[in-house]
Structures are given as structure tokens and as C-alpha cells.
Amino acid sequence: MSLSVAMKAARGALQANATSTGVVSRNIAGVNDPAYSRKIASLVTTDGPVRVVISRASDTLLFDKTIHSTSELAGRTEILKGLQSLEDTVGDTEEGRSVSAKISAVKTALANAAGQPNDINLAKAAVAAAKDLARTLNQASATVQKVRFDADQDIAKSVGTINDLLGQFDKANKAVVLGTTTGADISDALDNRDKILAQLSQEIGIHTSVRAGNDMAIYADNGAPLFDRGARTVTFAPTTAFGAGTTGNAVLIDGIRVTGNGSMMPLQAGRIVGLMTVRDEAAVTYQKQLDAIAGGLIKAFAETDKNSATGTAFAGLFTNAGNTALPAVNTGLASSIQVNAKADPELGGNPFTLRDGGMNAGSQYTYNDTNAASYVDHLRALQSALGAERPFPSDSELPASASLLTAAGASVSWLEATRKGASKRVEDESAFLDRASTALSNATGVNRDDEVATMLELEKSYAASAKLLATVNAMLQTLLDAVR
């Protein structure tokens, strides 16, 4: 081997060593970054000097499983959070804040009033218990609609995040494609692209397709294209206020709805799906339960015509926003139920109308004709009506037929069972994501000990190459001295 060839070999080895050392340094710097994939420096020998080719550790199957699990967990977490917010309407069962506890309080107050029908304080206490029950229903309904409104606002934020991430992905994907074309090191660009995909999968379920030149397309989990050589537009119009009968808007991709009952191919996973489930399913069902109970209360305490079984019944102790007519539908009753002003002493009413009737015009609605202080028939009739079984809508998830107290207890049980089920699914998906992430990290992540060991090997290689270079330099110097 000539000295010039030896010199070139030594210089090439030093350059390769420097590049490899840089790769190891990058790996060590990214050891705590979950989005970083291990870089691999491979030596390639040809007719010319040795060169280094940088590749990137990857496992497409594990990565796909990880982003799928990320989408599932994000959606299920939002459902659990929504249900936990709805459970605020129940609180600790020992505190007696639930609708069920308030109905029991009204039942007890009625029994106390019937025991001493001439006691104005007991009559007032029964009216106060009824006001407390109506207020609890009002507050519960307000909480439900706030949960729906918050979910709707979060959907809007999620859509904004999706559009922003698709814009970032466009830049990252172009960097990968350009680097692939020019033969540049694209390992960091690939990391950046995968990082964006991981963030996007939290908002919406996705799957990807890699084409020639490392170009990537993104599709939502319902098949709708999100990115195909350009970002698609995802839109959503938030609702300004929610009531019991309000229907929120759908999410659209390129103008096609991908959520809700009107969607031919709805989205399956991601934060958006979880928020939609809270807004349009869980909260709506719970609202229907509250409305059905409120409607049952209004009808149970209605004043009926004592002279005719077919006579018109009017609202008694409980009314729908003060209306005397009985409501035809239950929608919104939990938010509008209130105690009749005719019985509310704070509004100038007479609490003894609870005992005697007469909250509505006409003698046929006054049951205590003689104004007897010991009259208890109507109070007992109200107790019986409160405990009587009545039908409930099939879409409310309440028993088909039950007393109001039983129905209120069933509502609490449904909410708790639904929350427990959601919590279990979150725990299961969290465990699956943890396993998938660990497996992906083992396959593509950085092991600090391995990198340090590689660095030591590179130091030895550097020392050998430097010694060779120094030897060749000394030989050349000796040769030049001999020529002189």
C-alpha cells in the first residue's frame, strides 16, 4: 500500500468515525424523548473511501398499534371525564344531594304533614322539601347541559388542533420526500412526521399509507382522507347554548359529516368520538331520565277534578315554569320544574293548599270543602301517587314501570354503572397502550448503556486511525528529509 493510499484510508476512517460519533451523540441526547427513534450509522465500503449511511430504527406494526391505542384511550378518557362530571349531580350518597334523596325527603315531609294536618310548620316543611327537590332537578339539568356545552367547545378545539397538525404534517412530509429525493439524512424528519401522527391520533382515529418516495397519506378510521398530497379541511360549527332539546352539529371532512346519526361512515376513535358520545349520548340519556322524573312529579301532584274522573287535571304542587296545564312532553321539564306559587309562602302562597287543594280555580279542585283542620285525605292521596308505579320512556334507560323513588334510584345506578364501565375500559386501554409503547420503545428507542459502549468502541477506532495517520505522516516526513 502506498503512503498516499494509507493517508486517504486513515482520513476516511477519521471522517466516518466523526459521523458515527455524531450519531451516537444524537442518540444519547434523545434517550428521554419518546418521539425519538434510534439512529443507526452503517459503514459502507466501495472502491472509494469508506462512508457512513444513517438509517433509523422503526417498527411499522408496533407504531400503528400504538397510535390506534392512543386514539381509543383518548376517546374513552373523554367519556369517563364526562360521566364523572355528570356524577357531580349525585355527589356522596351519604350527603343526600341526589334526586332520589330529595324525593325521599318529600315523601317523609308529606307523612309528617299527614300526621298533624293542622300544623302550618309541617305544611311549610313539605313545601320547602318540594322546592328543594325542584331546585335539585334544575341544578342537575343545568349541569348536564354544561357538560354538553363543554364537550361541544372541546370538539371545536379538537377540530382546530387537527387542522393545525395537518398543516404541520404537510411541511414534515415535504421534508421527508425532498430528503428522499436528494439522498439526504431524513431520519430526524421521519421522527418529526411520526410525532405529528402520534399527536393527531389523540384527536381522531387514523391509519396511514406510505407511497413511492416516502410520501405518506393519512386516512381517518372511517376511510375519509385527511391528507393526500395536501391537507383536507375538517370543519365544525359549535353551538352557542344547549337545552334539553338541542341537537349539536356534526364534524365534517371535506363537507361530509363523519359523526352523528346522519353519518354513513362515522368516526370510530379519538377524542372527538369520546366528546361526541358525551354530548349526544350519555348526557342526553341522563337528561331524559331527569325530565321523565320531573314529568312524573308534576303528574303525581296534579289536581284532578273531584267530581269527574274524566275532568281536566291541572298542575298542583309542581308546575312546568308556573303553567297550570300538565305538560304534553317531558323534554326540558327538569330545568323548568318549580313549586306552585299558590303553595309557596315565600311568594305569598298558602302551604295548606297542599292539604286542602285549591291551587287551581274551580270548587272541583278544592278537596277540603269544610276547611277541617284534621283533613288528611288529599295528603294521603299525594303519598300514594308519589309511591305509585308509572311508565317511563324506553329511551331513558329507566325501568318501563316504576315508582318515582325507584326510578330516581335506577337513574343513579345507571350513571354509576356507566361510569364504572367507562373507567374499566380506560384502565384496559391504558394497560394496552403501555405495553405497546414499551414494545415500540424497546424496538426503536435508545438504550443509554449500548450507546455509551458504542462510543467507547468509536474512541478506540479513532485512536487507531489517528495513530495510523501519525505514522504515515512520520514516514512522509522521513522521506522528505531523505530527499533534501
For the chain, helix (H) and strand (E) counts, in that order, are 12, 12
pLDDT at residue 396, as a whole number: 92
DSSP state of 90: T
What are the structural domain ranges in the chain?
3-57+445-483, 94-414
Contact 23, 35 (CB under 8 A): no
How wide is the angle at C-alpha 162 spanned by C-alphas 159 and 163, nearest 5°? Answer: 90
Question: In the predicted model, what is the mean pLDDT of the chain?
Answer: 87
Q: Is 97 exposed, middle or buried (0-12, 13-18, 19+ CB in 10 A)?
A: middle
pLDDT at residue 311, as a whole number: 86
| CA–CA dist 356, 377 (Å, integer) | 9
List CB contacts of 337: < 8 A, sequence separation 6 or more. 134, 137, 138, 294, 297, 298, 318, 319, 320
pLDDT at residue 475, as a whole number: 63
DSSP state of 214: G
In this predicted model, what pLDDT tens digit does every residue of 216-245 receive, in sequence order? 999 999 999 999 999 999 999 999 999 998
In this predicted model, what pLDDT tens digit does every residue of 283-339 receive, in sequence order? 999 999 999 999 999 999 999 988 888 889 999 999 999 899 999 999 999 999 999
DSSP state of 264: S
pLDDT at residue 295, as a whole number: 96
Largest CA distance in the chain: 143
What are the C-alpha distances in Å from 250 to residues 160, 228, 237? Answer: 14, 23, 8
Report the 10 Å Cβ neighbour count for 389. 13
| CA–CA dist 194, 187 (Å, integer) | 11
Report the 10 Å Cβ neighbour count for 234. 23
- Residues of the chain below pLDDT 70: 1-27, 29-31, 33, 38-55, 92-95, 445-481, 483-484
Share of the chain above pLDDT 70, in %: 80
Beta strands (DSSP E) in 83-233 are: 206-210, 216-220, 225-227
How wide is the angle at C-alpha 439 spanned by C-alphas 433 and 445, nearest 5°? Answer: 115
- Per-position DSSP letters for 169-209, written without gaps between them: HHHHHHHHHHHHHHT---HHHHHHHHHHHHHHHHHS-EEEE
CA end-to-end span of the chain, whole Å? 24
| CA–CA dist 106, 128 (Å, integer) | 9
